[in-house]
């Protein structure tokens, strides 16, 4: 079915839908979460004029998780006509981790600057997206903040936050059960306020601003 253009919509008095492209750093955890948001948009009271579009990796992109590479791939797809983007009504939202082991502060600054240049938005969790997921439970307020920020390995396969995610919600970051997070999204938005939400300060401070994205699309 052909989708009417913005001009056609305006001429008919129709309000155009905004596309929110969610471009995650990883190809598992964040994608599963935002696909859950998309698939439950009515129940979650997402604004009816917003389409949530999580961008999953193509077959040849798996393993290319660095934000710089993700931006290059997205821009290439945009230039090739795979996506359409109207900077007046659409948004491109990069959901990334601070991950200082793989992403220096200089690289992060440059990435944020490049996003601003393209009109894209950055939603950052320090140290990882698992922090925001744990915010869906008030247990986050009891955890040691130094341990969360350091996020050290506590086993061969898991770091502190991934272990706590599994302990609290009974699921792993690779097999996320969205039903365990869906009822508590507003709680996560509220709990996030107890941590850093400022993008610049998130480079060094514990927190996330993903809740700000969700709060902006949920009808009050």
Residue 175 located in a structural domain: yes
Residue 13 pLDDT:
56
- Domain assignment of residue 51, yes or no: yes
86 assigned to some structural domain: yes
Residue 3 CA to residue 148 CA, distance in Å, equals 46
Domain holding 115, by residue range, is 17-217
Q: What whole-number distance in Å separates Cα of residue 165 and Cα of residue 213? A: 21
The answer to whether position 191 is within a domain reads yes
Name the nearest CA neighbour of 99 among 119, 125, 62: 125
Asked whether residue 6 is domain-assigned, the answer is: no
Spatial contact of 206 and 218, defined as CB atoms under 8 Å apart: no
Report if residue 12 sits inside a domain. no
pLDDT digits (tens, 9 = 90+) for 70-111: 999 999 999 999 999 998 999 999 999 998 777 888 999 999
Residue 173 in domain: yes
| Residue ranges in the chain modelled with pLDDT below 50 | 1-5, 8-9, 11
Q: Which among 81, 75, 82, 87 is positioned nearest to 16, based on CA atoms?
A: 87
Structure letter (DSSP) for residue 72: H
What pLDDT is recorded for position 5? Answer: 46
Q: Which two three-digit tokens encode residue 139? A: 């247990």
Beta strands in the chain (DSSP E): 18-24, 50-54, 91-97, 121-126, 207-208
Residue 167 falls inside a structural domain? yes
pTM above 0.95, yes or no: no
- Check if the beta carbon of residue 116 is closer than 8 Å to that of residue 93: no
Q: H helices within 94-209, ranges in order?
A: 105-118, 129-134, 145-150, 160-169, 185-192
Say how many domains are in the chain: 1
């Amino acid at each position: 079915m052909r989708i009417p253009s913005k001009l056609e919509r305006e001429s008919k008095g129709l309000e155009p839908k905004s596309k929110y492209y969610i471009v995650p750093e990883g190809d598992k955890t964040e994608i599963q979460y935002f696909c859950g948001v998309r698939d439950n948009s009515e129940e979650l009271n997402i604004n009816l004029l917003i389409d949530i579009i999580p961008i999953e990796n193509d077959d040849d992109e798996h393993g290319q998780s660095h934000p710089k590479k993700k931006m290059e791939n997205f821009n290439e797809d945009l230039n090739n006509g795979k996506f359409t983007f109207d900077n007046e009504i659409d948004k491109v939202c990069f959901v990334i981790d601070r991950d200082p082991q793989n992403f220096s502060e200089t690289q992060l600054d440059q990435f944020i600057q490049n996003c601003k240049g393209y009109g894209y938005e950055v939603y950052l969790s320090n140290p990882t997206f698992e922090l925001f997921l744990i915010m869906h439970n008030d247990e986050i307020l009891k955890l040691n903040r130094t341990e969360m920020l350091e996020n050290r390995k506590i086993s061969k396969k898991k770091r502190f936050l991934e272990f706590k995610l599994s302990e609290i919600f009974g699921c792993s970051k690779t097999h996320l059960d969205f039903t365990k997070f869906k009822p508590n999204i507003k709680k996560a938005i509220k709990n996030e306020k107890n941590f850093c939400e400022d993008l610049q300060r998130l480079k060094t401070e514990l927190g996330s601003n993903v809740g700000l994205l969700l709060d902006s699309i949920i009808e009050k």
